């Protein structure tokens, strides 16, 4: 599918309760979700025909909608069933799945109390998020201009489309400068996350990661923490200041698309791809492919 525009792909998309041809899954230009970012979404991965942590993603989609003040008109069970059927219809084994819910076009303005809530699910073949060779040696991150906002100014606990505007700007700027991604600080100047992934650092055999108080506590983030603890690695969630990066030895990102990806450089700071990161990469790969049992701690 490389190089094919997303509106020209083939197959079906689940749209408001039924499967429709890919090209027919359209919305009006005056849709509220387009103009005012009143939409929430998820990113899910299927490995060997099984969707990793589907239930958790669907629950978060419902919670994100609740935070944005609307209710998804389909139960979690209905969405899960539709997603599994879609994967079969698309004849996909390893794939990316994108559920999204948004306010429709009945009202156009800041207020949209009477707008229909629409829901769609699409699935497609998904290559590595980062260049595979670059990923193995560690990707390079720039420092982002924009910061994650104060929770008092944005619904940071939701996976809302509007929160990704500064992520797109930051990733575009990083790529223009030859980097794979960007590290974002929060409004206090503390280390937060990359543009679409959580971040971890390692020093003296101990893993450190920022407290997710103004950005998503990612499902993959929690999975990585569980995998690390299974290995007996100590994990500390705490405030991390930018200047501390000079003291860390290893660094990695986590996310549904990112999986577990080593980082070799963040601005002026350099990191090695060490044994702990490689171990977590291997453990995550085994877990999502059903070769390692999940535990209650990861749920």
Structure tokens at 174: 């990083």
All residues at 6 or more sequence positions from 291 whose CB lies less than 8 Å from its CB, including other chains? none
CA distance 83 to 109: 32
CA distance 21 to 38: 25
CA distance 121 to 49: 17
Structure tokens at 181: 């991604």
User: Which residues form the catalytic set?
Assistant: 159
Angle at the Cα of 134 from the Cα atoms of 159 and 280, rounded to 5 degrees:
65
Query: Which residue carries 């009143």 as its tokens?
Result: 38
């Amino acid at each position: 599918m490389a190089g094919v525009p997303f509106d020209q792909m083939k197959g079906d998309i689940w749209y408001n309760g039924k499967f429709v041809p890919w090209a027919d899954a359209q919305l009006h230009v005056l849709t509220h979700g387009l103009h005012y970012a009143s939409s929430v979404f998820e990113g899910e991965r299927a490995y060997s025909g099984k969707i990793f942590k589907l239930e958790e993603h669907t629950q978060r989609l419902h919670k994100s909608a609740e935070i944005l003040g609307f209710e998804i008109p389909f139960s979690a069970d209905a969405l899960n069933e539709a997603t599994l059927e879609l994967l079969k219809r698309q004849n996909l084994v390893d794939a990316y799945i994108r559920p999204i819910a948004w306010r429709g076009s009945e009202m156009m303005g800041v207020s949209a109390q009477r707008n229909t809530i629409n829901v769609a699910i699409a699935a497609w073949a998904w290559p590595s998020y980062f260049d595979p060779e670059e990923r193995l040696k560690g990707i390079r991150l720039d420092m982002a201009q924009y910061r994650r906002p104060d929770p008092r100014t944005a619904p940071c606990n939701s996976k809302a489309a509007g929160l990704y505007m500064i992520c797109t700007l930051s990733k575009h700027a990083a790529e223009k400068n030859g980097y794979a991604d960007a590290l974002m600080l929060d409004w206090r100047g503390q280390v937060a996350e990359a543009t679409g992934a959580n971040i971890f650092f390692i020093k003296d055999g101990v893993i450190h990661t920022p407290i997710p108080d103004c950005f998503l506590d990612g499902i993959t983030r929690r999975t990585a923490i569980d995998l690390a603890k299974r290995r007996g690695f100590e994990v500390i969630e705490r405030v991390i200041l930018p200047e501390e990066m000079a003291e860390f030895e290893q660094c990695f990102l986590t996310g549904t698309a990112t999986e577990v990806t080593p980082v070799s450089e963040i601005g002026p700071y350099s990191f090695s791809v060490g044994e702990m990161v490689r171990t977590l990469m291997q453990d995550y790969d085994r877990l999502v492919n059903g070769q390692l049992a999940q535990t209650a701690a990861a749920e």
